[in-house]
Amino acid sequence: MNSAQSQITWWLDSGALSDRFLWARLSVSPGGAAEVFDCDGNYHRFDSEQAARFWLSEDEYSVLAHMIEDGEVPSNLAPPSARTDPELVKLMVVNNSQGLSQ
Distance CA 25, CA 34 (A): 10
User: pLDDT digit string (tens) for 51-99?
Assistant: 999 999 999 999 999 999 999 999 999 999 999 999 999 999 998 765 5
Cβ atoms within 10 A of the Cβ of 73, count?
A: 21
Distance CA 5, CA 15 (A): 31
Query: What pTM does this model have?
Result: 0.88
Q: What is the DSSP letter of 84?
A: S
